[in-house]
Amino acid sequence: MVEENGLKDLIACHTRISSIIDDHLAYAGYDISELMDNQASFEETIYLLWNLRLPTASEYEKFTSELRANYEISDAVEQCILIQSRKHLHPMSVLRSTVSLLGVYNVHAEERSLEATYEQSIQLMAKIPTIIATFARLRNGQTPIAPRNDLGFAENFLYMLTGKEAQAIEIEALNKALILHADHELNASTFAARVCASTLSDIYSCVTTAIGTLKGPLHGGANERVFDMLQEIRACGDTEAYLQQKLASQEKIMGFGHRVYKKQDPRESYLRQMAKELTQKTEHEIWYQLSREIEDYMKHSKGLIPNVDFYSATVYHVLGIDSSIFTLIFAMSRVAGWIAHIQEQQGFNKLIRPRSHYLGPEKLSYIPLERRSYA
C-alpha cells in the first residue's frame, strides 16, 4: 500500500549524524541542550556533524582557520549575484543559482576523493554567508562588504550584512539560531540531498537540490510568514480577533505544530529566550509581546505548540535581517547538516530508488487516433 501521508514514520536510511527521540534532538549523540547550555560555537557544531565528534583545541583552531580563509567570493560570483539582485527574483532561487555557479568555477568539482570533497565542503560552508550578505546588500542598493577573516562565522555574517561590528548578545543569538537549525534528521531538503548524493553526483548538485527543496513554503519559508503575521496583527491591534478570523477561514497559523514533535519542539525555548533578551526594553519589545499572545491563544484554543520558526522570526528581525531573506539564513545553517549527510551517504552508498504503488487503470487497448473520442 502507498503511504498516504508523505512517507510519515517510514525509515529511509541509517545515520549517525542526528536523531529525534521522544521530542529530544541530538547531534551525533549530544543532546541539543548540551551544546546550548555550554555555549558551543556554530563552528564546533559543523565539525561535530561532519566528524561525529567534537574537535580538540588544535583541531578547532585549524578548522576555523580553514573556514575563514575561504570566506571571500570571486568578482565573477559577485557579478553573478548583482545580475540576480532584481526584486522580482526569489532569494532562494538566487542562492540556488549561485551555489551551482561555485561548482562551475571549482576545477575539482567532479573529483570524488576525500580530500576534494573536504575542500568543496569547506568552501561551500564558508562562502554561502558571503553570498547571502552580498545579495542582501546589492538588492537594497548598497555596496557589498568584504568578509573579515578575524571574525567568527556568526559575527562575520552580521558584519557583512550591516557594516557594523555586532554586540555580544547579537553574536550569541545568531550563533544559537545557527546551531539549532544546523541539522534535523531526515527532513525534506536533507532527504533530497541524500537522494542526489546516492547517484554519486557532485556536492554542488546535492546542495543545489537541497536549496531548491528548502525553498518550498511548507519547509523553509515558515519563519518569513511568521513575521508577516506579526506585522499584520500589530496593524490590526487585536491578536485574538485576527487569529479567530484566520482559523475560521481554515488558514494555517504559521510557526505552530510539527510533523515529528508531539509535546514540544526542543529548539523553540532557546529562541524564545533569545527573542526576549534581544527585545527587552527596546523598540522591538512589541514583537516578543505579540508572539507570547499568539502562543498563549494557540496553546489554549488549539493545543498547538510553537516550532523553531515561530520565535526565530523575531530573533532575525531584531538582528537586522529582512524577512525576505529569513529562509536564506535557514539555508546558511542547514548546509552544515546537508554536507554531513552527503558525505555519509557517499561513504556507505546505495542508490536510493523506492518504488511507487500504481493506482490507475490497467490492460487498456490502443485505439487509432481517428476513432478516438471521449464523451
User: What single letter denotes the amino acid at residue 71?
Assistant: Y
The whole-number pLDDT of residue 4 equals: 59
Domains of the chain: 18-216+323-348 (1.10.580.10), 221-319 (1.10.230.10)
Contact status, residue 177 vs residue 272, Cβ threshold 8 Å: no
Q: Are strands 30-31 and 24-27 parallel, antiparallel or unpaired?
A: antiparallel
Q: Which of 265, 309, 317, 341 is catalytic?
A: 309
φ, ψ (nearest 5 deg) of residue 326: -55, -40
Among this protein's residues, is 14 annotated catalytic? Answer: no
Structure confidence by residue, pLDDT tens digits, 239-283: 999 999 999 999 989 889 777 777 888 999 999 999 999 999 999
HSE value, Cβ hemisphere, 13 Å, CA-based, for 114: 4
Q: Could you tell me the pTM of the whole model? A: 0.93
Contact status, residue 270 vs residue 312, Cβ threshold 8 Å: no
- CA–CA dist 336, 359 (Å, integer): 39
The whole-number pLDDT of residue 1 equals: 45
Closest CA to 346 of 118, 10, 70: 118
DSSP secondary structure letter of residue 306:
B
**Residue carrying the nine cell digits 576534494:** 116
Contact status, residue 2 vs residue 357, Cβ threshold 8 Å: yes
The whole-number pLDDT of residue 261 equals: 77
- CA–CA dist 221, 202 (Å, integer): 26
Contact status, residue 270 vs residue 180, Cβ threshold 8 Å: yes
pLDDT in tens for each of the 375 residues of the chain? 444 567 777 888 999 999 999 889 999 999 999 999 999 999 999 999 999 999 999 999 999 999 999 999 999 999 999 999 888 889 999 999 999 999 999 888 898 888 999 999 999 999 999 999 999 999 999 999 999 999 999 999 999 999 999 999 999 999 999 999 999 999 999 999 999 999 999 999 999 999 999 998 888 888 888 999 999 999 999 999 999 999 999 998 988 977 777 788 899 999 999 999 999 999 999 999 999 999 999 999 998 889 888 999 999 999 999 999 999 999 999 999 999 999 999 999 999 999 888 999 999 999 999 999 987
The whole-number pLDDT of residue 2 equals: 47
DSSP secondary structure letter of residue 2:
-
Among this protein's residues, is 202 annotated catalytic? Answer: no
Q: Which of 258, 265, 317, 341 is catalytic?
A: 258
CA angle 85, 89, 90 (to 5 degrees): 110
